[in-house]
């Protein structure tokens, strides 16, 4: 069961929110190649939106190569080519970082502070991983 | 695409006040339209004029290619309407009212009636006059949905419904939308009601439909632009609805972002920030 998180009153059109959430689920491996998505009607009913919105989102994902339409069976997650997939993952991360930067700017955190924060977070994350590995060895 | 409603030069005045002013509007079959307008903008006046309940002073309206003043009974049976005021026969029980209505509509759906009556817990032994406003409105919605119309018009459908009732009503609209080619118009001043279900938004303002577009386009096009610069005095923003300037900052709402202008600004070293807007803000800006 796919859980969408739709903010109907946001300035981002609902179809775009659906596209982005499915893209993320495919890129982070939550949805895998060969898996079928729920029907347009199902999703429209689940999240209480116009079915045209969902078909528009599915159509766009098909165009971008994330989904492939299987006659009579619905939409299936398509095989992702490793190279394009890497490129898209980077693009997705770039977008998320962009959001992070503008959030930080709104909080009055400058870019140096943000970069420093990212660096310490990455370092503590990897030291924790090393700790975990050492714990495992013991 | 076929046309469900074509309105030309519709004008209507009350005493000295012109409510509809040579209004033109064409609605295609399959559109699900949220009709937005401030209180008193004339949403009900427009709906009543479309259905010839309260005729316009001039102009014309065609519904399914027939003049609205001389609709055939076949065409009338294809139209469902839920008014703001409940003026159904007060002395019939709901059961009798349903039986009475049913005889006028060849496509009557008994199953839908039974399902909604039980889901919305309506006592069919009661008379219309004995129901609460919300329950009465639910009955009207059931009557309208039961005739399986090709065109449905709701005047402020959510006004008397509680949140659960609104959810249910929206779900019914969504279900209708899944059926092919139904045209639905609902007037509201609550933007969140239409954001989930409408594919198009029409804004009634100063007697005209001043904005009619797909909801997605509206959200993508109408955005807030901020420019940060040493001096913003001489900057002119294209397609701006309004612009506020302070010493080194400019904020403006545009009906369409001019990408060329944005690039030029950035090339000149100005910092341009573009932010999407929710429908409520868009509505307030357009009708400001």
In this prediction, residues A8-18 reach a mean pLDDT of: 91
Of the candidates B212, B158, B277, which has an alpha carbon nearest to the alpha carbon of residue B35?
B212
pLDDT tens sequence across B216-225:
999 999 999 9
Q: Residue B97 — very low, low, confident or very high, per pLDDT cuts 50/70/90?
A: very high
Within 8 A of B220 by CB-CB distance, chain A residues are 13
CA distance B36 to chain A (A): 15
pLDDT for position B170: 80
Q: Which helix (H) or strand (E) holds B186?
A: strand B183-188
CB contact under 8 A, A9 and B278: yes
Give the CATH number of domain B3-214.
3.40.50.300
CA B15 to chain centre: 26
pLDDT for position B1: 64
**C-beta of residue B166 within 8 angstroms of C-beta of residue B155:** no
Q: Residue B66 — very low, low, confident or very high, per pLDDT cuts 50/70/90?
A: very high
Domain ranges of chain B: 3-214, 222-286
pLDDT tens sequence across B193-232:
788 889 899 999 999 999 999 999 999 999 999 888 888 7
pLDDT tops 60 at residue A137: no
Distance CA B94, CA B89 (A): 10
Torsion of CA B178, B179, B185, B186, to 10 degrees: -60
Q: Which residues of A touch B (CB under 8 A)?
A: 8-16, 41, 44-45, 48-53, 56, 102
> Does B196 touch chain A if contact means CB atoms closer than 8 Å?
yes
From the number of C-beta atoms within 10 Å of its C-beta (0-12, 13-18, 19+), residue B65 rates as exposed
pLDDT tens sequence across A24-33:
999 888 999 9
Task: Please name the residue ranges forming H helices in chain B.
Answer: 43-50, 73-77, 94-102, 110-119, 133-146, 163-178, 191-195, 215-221, 259-267, 279-286
Give the nearest chain A residue to B176 (CA atoms).
A50
pLDDT tops 90 at residue B21: yes
Task: Give residue B234's region: left, alpha or beta (phi > 0; psi -120 to 50).
Answer: alpha
Q: Residue B105 — very low, low, confident or very high, per pLDDT cuts 50/70/90?
A: confident
**Which of B173, B278, B280 is most worth mutating to test chain A (most A CB atoms within 10 A of its CB)?**
B278
pLDDT for position B249: 86
Give the nearest chain B residue to A102 (CA atoms).
B273
Predicted TM-score of the model (pTM)? 0.81
Mean of the per-residue pLDDT values of chain B: 89
């Amino acid at each position: 069961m796919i859980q969408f998180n739709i903010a109907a009153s946001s300035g981002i059109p609902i179809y775009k929110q659906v596209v982005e959430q499915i893209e993320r689920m495919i890129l982070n491996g939550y949805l895998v190649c060969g898996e079928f998505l729920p029907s347009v009607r199902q999703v429209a009913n689940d999240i209480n939106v116009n079915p045209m919105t969902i078909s528009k989102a599915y159509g766009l994902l098909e165009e971008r190569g994330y989904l492939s339409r299987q006659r009579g069976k619905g939409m299936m997650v398509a095989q992702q080519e490793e190279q394009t997939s890497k490129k898209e993952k980077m693009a997705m991360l770039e977008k998320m970082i962009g959001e992070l930067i503008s959030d930080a700017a709104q909080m009055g955190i400058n870019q140096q502070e943000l970069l420093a924060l990212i660096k310490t977070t990455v370092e503590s994350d990897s030291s924790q991983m090393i700790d975990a590995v050492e714990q495992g060895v013991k | 695409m076929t046309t469900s409603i074509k309105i030309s030069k519709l004008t209507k005045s009350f005493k000295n006040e012109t409510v509809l002013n040579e209004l033109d509007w064409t609605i295609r079959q399959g559109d699900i339209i949220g009709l937005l307008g401030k209180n008193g903008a004339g949403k009900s006046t427009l709906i009543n004029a479309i259905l010839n309940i309260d005729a316009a002073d001039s102009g014309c309206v065609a519904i399914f290619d027939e003049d609205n003043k001389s609709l055939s009974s076949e065409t009338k049976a294809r139209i469902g309407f839920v008014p703001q005021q409940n003026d159904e026969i007060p002395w019939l029980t709901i059961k009798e009212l349903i039986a009475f209505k049913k005889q006028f509509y060849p496509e009557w759906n008994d199953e839908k009636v039974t399902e909604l009556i039980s889901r919305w817990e309506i006592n069919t032994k009661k008379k219309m006059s004995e129901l609460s406003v919300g329950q009465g409105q639910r009955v009207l919605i059931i009557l309208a949905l039961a005739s399986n119309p090709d065109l449905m018009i709701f005047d402020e459908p959510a006004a008397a419904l509680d949140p659960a009732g609104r959810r249910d009503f929206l779900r019914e609209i969504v279900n209708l939308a899944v059926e092919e080619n139904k045209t639905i118009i609902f007037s509201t001043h609550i933007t969140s009601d239409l954001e989930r279900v409408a594919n198009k938004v029409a804004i009634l303002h100063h007697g005209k439909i001043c904005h009619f577009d797909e909801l997605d386009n509206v959200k993508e096009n109408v955005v807030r632009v901020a420019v940060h610069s040493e001096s913003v005095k001489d900057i002119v923003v294209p397609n701006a609805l309004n612009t506020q300037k302070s010493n080194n900052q400019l904020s403006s709402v545009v009906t369409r972002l001019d990408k060329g202008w944005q690039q030029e600004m950035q090339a000149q070293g100005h910092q341009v920030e573009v932010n999407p807007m929710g429908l409520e803000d868009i509505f307030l800006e357009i009708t400001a």
